[in-house]
Structure 1
Amino acid sequence: MVIDDPIFPGGKTMTYVNGADGTKLYVEDAGDGAPVVFVSSAWLGTRMWEFQVPAVVAAGHRAVTYDRRGHGRSDRPWDGYDYDTLADDLAAILGELDLSGVTLVSQSMGAGEVVRYLTRHGSARVAGIVLIAPLTPLPMWLPDNPQGIPLEVFEAEDRLRAADRPGWMTASATGFFGDDHPEVSVSDAMRRWMIDQCLDVSARATSQVARAVFTTDFRAELPTVDLPALVLHGERDVQAPIDLCGRRTAELLPDARLRTYPDAAHGLFITHAAALNADLLGFLSRRVAAGAAEGSVRAS
């Protein structure tokens, strides 16, 4: 279905794509040009990119967003919240839309899906990656990962979340936005809007994706990603501490640039949208220029 939208010349297409096991995944597609596929944070979906998609389309790119299984307007199966299946869902979308020269842009949990997609399906369709507040390489404590968080801490939080999801999400919002800092401010309405999106997820998916994020180890996979990468991370992020996640992810990637935001927390795609969009668009323009240069060399 195509809807008229004054923000997106030519309209915006809304459709469903069959995922890895036939799960129907809700997809939105707007704009023309080099494709940018957004892979969302846990508990969020297409709506979270409200400040990024218009900027990307206005800059001459094609923007594709989707709701992960169990989230938003996609099907809600009982299983399939492991990274292999989620990466296969992403592969199904790229294949169904026949996308190439893609920049994969992810937030939080989505970084793991991007990395697992590349190590599982290869990089033939992808030109570069942007990881915003990634939760890679591994949040969980292990003897060789002493900075990590003990499993029993996660288990306790998972029980609290299961007992009162609305209460838990509401209590977590201050840390997510980092708006206890004088330089950061969000309205009560914005806070409620984001909480409502997080609650528009099945209870099963809420718990299962959190467990996948916490326990999956990407330390061996990140060094094999042979693509230009941009890592964007807030220095006040409590959900994905920068020294545990963002800096280590950038260090493990062979071709990565790390850009940090001193007063930003996990929700920097909202609180620091203007700066983040400028960094994102700069990366996209460099990827388009690199692609054009490669095409010129091949033509000659």
Structure 2
Amino acid sequence: MAVEGGRYIAVEPGVELFIQDVGQGEPLVLIPGWTFTTEVFAKQVEFFKQTNRVIVIDPRSQGRSSVTLHGNNYSTHGSDLAKVLDALELGKVTLAAWSFGALTAWEYIRQHGTDRVKSLITIDLSPKPLSLNHETDWVEGPLDDIAGAYLFATQDAEKQREFVKEYVTGVMFQGEVPADELTWLIEQSARTPHYIASNLFAAGMFSDYRAEAKLASESIPTLTIISEHWAETAAAFTKSLTPKTKVEVLGGHLSFWEHPEKFNEIVTRFLGGSKGEAEVAASSEG
């Protein structure tokens, strides 16, 4: 089935990324998380295309993009993002990145700075997903628990599907997940082979983008939307590391799918405020 605004962009010989590019106005670039696809942002695309140019990216080896045996890490995902922005000839953009997609956004900032980024929205991920100080730091979980999840989830395709099922029902949603949506979400993740999901899992967990998160918060308007289940710890960590970052708490890990109206309202409010801040800054420079 054809996707509105769907197209492919070559990021290197033999590797193409699928993107959806719809609407007009200031660019809003959406980046999905570990093994997921453009399609999880369907409710945001439909809403924001009325006011913005909305670009959604399938990272390499995810969704409709090329499956490759190399570059399945966030350093490469960050450089891929830069190539997409270049190909689309985009100026200032708002990056809105969910879960491990936030690592792609921070990696882009590590490589290219914030000159091209108007504002940054990260959805429910710490810039340092693992720490020995798991009781006080915002992390994905204790090291032994994450190691167990890694060893289970990446054994084979069946275990990957089982892991995603447990994660969707236990972490992504607050309420009961409709059976058809659960099946669909598992299928979205399964487009990434388990042996590549393994690379992305490890690369993400061992990332440390605290410096980039801090740089972004000092340079541009930033927003992080945090799940309710770890809100107290995550909010305290964020305010300590990046005190200028706006913090909102909403739902579970997939809040933008389960609570789209509230989520879209939060983002709309932030984008409006970011525009005002940018205009004030430009006026001051003038």
Range into which the TM-score falls when normalised by the shorter chain: 0.7 to 0.9
5+ unaligned residues in a row in structure 1: which ranges? 6-11
Cα deviation for residue 144 of structure 1 reads 9.5
Partner residue in 2 for 1:140: 130
Partner residue in 2 for 1:258: 247
Asked if 2 retains the 8 angstrom alpha-carbon contact of 1:115 and 1:222, the reply is yes
Partner residue in 2 for 1:8: none
Partner residue in 2 for 1:46: 38
Partner residue in 2 for 1:84: 75
- After alignment, is 160-169 or 91-100 more displaced? 160-169
The residue type paired with residue 55 of structure 2 is: V
Pick closer, same or farther for the CA change 1:193–1:62 going to 2, 3 Å: same
TM-score, normalised to structure 1, is 0.84
Partner residue in 1 for 2:227: 234
Alignment of 1:26-175 (within 5 A): 26-58=18-50, 60-134=51-125, 136-142=126-132, 147=137, 148=139, 149-161=141-153, 162-163=155-156, 164-175=159-170
Report the secondary structure of 2:128's partner residue: coil
Pick closer, same or farther for the CA change 1:104–1:21 going to 2, 3 Å: farther
- Distance in 1, matches of 2:14 and 2:242, equals 33
Asked if 1 retains the 8 angstrom alpha-carbon contact of 2:109 and 2:212, the reply is no
Cα deviation for residue 155 of structure 1 reads 2.7
Asked if 2 retains the 8 angstrom alpha-carbon contact of 1:119 and 1:221, the reply is yes
Pick closer, same or farther for the CA change 1:21–1:114 going to 2, 3 Å: farther
Size of the alignment, in residue pairs?
A: 278
- After alignment, is 90-99 or 147-156 more displaced? 147-156
Pick closer, same or farther for the CA change 1:116–1:108 going to 2, 3 Å: same
- Distance in 2, matches of 1:104 and 1:130, equals 6
- Distance in 2, matches of 1:213 and 1:168, equals 16
Cα deviation for residue 172 of structure 1 reads 2.3
Equivalent residue for 2:258, pick from 242, 251, 271: 271
Q: Percent sequence identity over matched residues?
A: 24
Pick closer, same or farther for the CA change 1:141–1:77 going to 2, 3 Å: same
Equivalent residue for 1:178, pick from 164, 173, 178: 173
Partner residue in 2 for 1:193: 184
Cα deviation for residue 74 of structure 1 reads 0.5
Asked if 1 retains the 8 angstrom alpha-carbon contact of 2:95 and 2:120, the reply is yes
TM-score, normalised to structure 2, is 0.87
1:206 aligns with 2:201: no
Asked if 2 retains the 8 angstrom alpha-carbon contact of 1:232 and 1:246, the reply is no
Pick closer, same or farther for the CA change 1:99–1:265 going to 2, 3 Å: same
Asked if 2 retains the 8 angstrom alpha-carbon contact of 1:230 and 1:257, the reply is yes
- Distance in 2, matches of 1:141 and 1:292, equals 39
Partner residue in 2 for 1:248: 237
Pick closer, same or farther for the CA change 1:275–1:206 going to 2, 3 Å: same
